Amino acid sequence: MKVTVEHRQYMTEKMRIRLATYPPEALVTYLASIKTDQRVGDWEKRFRWDLCHASGLTPWICKELYAYVNDTHIDTALKAIMKELSA
C-alpha cells in the first residue's frame, strides 16, 4: 500500500468520528439508496469515497496524498479503512 501508515491512521480516525455521528437508520437508508441507484456502478466504492468526503478529508487529500499517490492508491487505503471500521 502506497499511502503511509500515518496518513492511513489519520484518515481512519477522521472517518471513524464521522461515521459515529450518523444515526444507524440514516446509514441504512443511504446504503439502500445507492445500492438501487442505476447510476452507481460500485456502491461500496461510492460509499467509502462519500464517507471520506463527508469526513472533511478532501482538501487534506489534495494537499497531502496527491503529492505522492493517485486515486487507485487512495481507494486501496479506503478499502482497508472500511474493513477496519466494520470490524
Is a pLDDT exceeding 80 seen at residue 70? yes
- Check: CB of residue 12 under 8 Å from CB of residue 83: no
- Check: CB of residue 13 under 8 Å from CB of residue 51: no
pTM: 0.93
- Check: CB of residue 1 under 8 Å from CB of residue 73: yes
Grid coordinates representing 28 are: 441504512
pLDDT tens readout for residues 12-47: 999 999 999 999 999 999 999 999 999 999 999 999
| Helix, coil or strand: residue 57 | coil
